[in-house]
Structure formats: C-alpha cells, structure tokens
Structure 1
C-alpha cells in the first residue's frame, strides 16, 4: 500500500471518529440547549441528520479502499462527547458555551475535510475528493449559521440571567 493511500485511510478513519463525536455532541446539545430556542434545536437536529449521512459516506469511502472505521476511535469520539456534555451541564452559561463549542468543532471539521480533500486528490481518489467537498460544504454552512446565531444566543442568555437574577459567570 502506498504511503499516501495509508495516510488517506488513516485520516478517513479519524474523520469517521470525529463524526461519531459530532453525533453524540449534537444529540446532547439538541436535547439540552434547544429547549428554549426552537430554531437552535431544529438546526442542530438538521445537522445531526447531515452528520449521520456523512458517517455513511465515510464508511463508503473506506470500503472502496478496502478498509473500515476504527471501532476504538469511534468509541473514543463518543466518550469524549459524553464527557464534554457532562462538563457542559455544570455551567450556568451552557447555552453560550455550547454554541461556542459547536462553532469551534465545525472549524475543526472544516480543516479535516480540507486536508482529506487534498489527500484524496493527490492519491487520485476523485470519488473521495467529491464526497469530502460535499461534506465540507455542509460543515461550512453549519459554521456560518452558528456564527450568525451566537449573538442571539448571548442576548437570550443575558436576558434569562437578568430575569432570574443569576450572577453572570466570570
């Protein structure tokens, strides 16, 4: 197996684990953060469905390369998301931190799919490149939506905090 093909497989497996993390994180965020923000919940649930589709596409890329996702990496991603959710539940400003975390995570995904796209192209795997371009567009769209949504999330949190007389976290 060529070095570039081995790297592509390794990175595809990492991307699959990243999407498993994303799945768990989005499911937790939709359940906890969307209760008072239906737009946020709907968009997170939409992106969760996109994420499940992305996992299937990555599985297809790996199968074409005679490989499969790493169960250990996938479980690691899910456990990391679970730990992240537990920590988030202890924060009074969880809705703001959750939006910021999702925004940062989207940018990690954007970087990952940009690298994958170029690795696939360098290896002559144009189908994987096409799939990475498709996924990249979804991640860029979600990051943009979150970017535009963060100000409203902060405003909603501050208004809620003022009504309940909670001291704003430092």
Structure 2
C-alpha cells in the first residue's frame, strides 16, 4: 500500500515529465510558425514559463531527496516529438496545434489542481505555493489560446483562400 508521500512523489515525477513534454511540443510548434506572429510570441513566452516550471517542480522533488524519472521524462519527449512531427504534415497545422495546445493546457491545469491537494495532504506548504503559481500560468495560457483561436482560425482561413499563400504555419 503506497503512502501519501509515495503518491505525491509519483505525481511530482509525472508533472516533471509533463513539463518536459510541454517544452518539446511548444518548441516544435514555435519553430515552424511563420505567419502567426502573435501566436508564436505567446508560445515563446510560455516556453520560458515551462522551463521555469520544470525547475520549480524539480526543486520540490529534490526536497524529498528524489530525482525526476528519466524514463517518464524520455517517454514524454518521445510522445511530444511524435505529436509535433505529426502536425508538420497537416495542412491545418496551426489550427490543430492551437486546439491540441488548449487541450494540453487543461490537462496541466487538472494535474496541478491535484498536486495542490496532494501538497496540502502531505503538509508541503512550499510545494502548494509553487503549484498555485504554475497553475495560474497554465490557466493564463489556456485562456489566451481559447481567446485567440477564433482570430487564428480566421487568419488561417483567409490565408488558405489566397493564391500562392501558405496557411498551415
């Protein structure tokens, strides 16, 4: 039977792997975006946030004298690479990327909501503070993506109708 701390550490490692996956996905998308400067700028900002989130999650893991799971981190990177490469070939990559990004942000929101409850259960006040900070960033990114998806879609549709104009990225 796993105790509270074992579950908490497992979820911390999952969160670290999740942030590694997020970084890979975001970098892949940002590297291919050419015609959507607002989206590219917001993704670049979130890449910086994501790298800091990795560091913060790792700091919580280290306080519990554990390390991030190399296997989970690697599995997350491989999954992100597959997802990023799959999008490269879609004619509507920017739209599918926006939808996928919004979905992933909500997965992160749910994950950090659970981690906050777990931190409270084990009495990790610093972890709770860190996860609240990360949660706010994930909510902000999800809100931005949702708010800008209609405009990005209109831009995509306009570009796709223009002759000799690439729309997908």
TM tier, smaller: over 0.9
Residue in 2 aligned with 1:6? 6
Indicate whether 1:113 and 2:108 are aligned.
no
Deviation readout 1:9-32 (Å, 9 max, x if unpaired):
000000000000000000011111
| Counterpart Cα distance in 1 of 2:102 and 2:42 | 13
Shift of 1:161: 1.1
Shift of 1:164: 3.4
Residue in 1 aligned with 2:18? 18
Shift of 1:134: 0.4
Residue in 1 aligned with 2:141? 142
| Counterpart Cα distance in 2 of 1:27 and 1:161 | 24
Shift of 1:86: 1.2
Number of residue-to-residue matches in the alignment: 166
Report the RMSD for the aligned CA atoms in angstroms: 1.7
- Please, which runs of 5 or more residues in structure 1 have no aligned partner? none
TM-score w.r.t. structure 2 length?
0.94
- Please, which runs of 5 or more residues in structure 2 have no aligned partner? none
Alignment map for 1:35-114 (pairs within 5 Å):
35-114=34-113
Shift of 1:99: 0.4
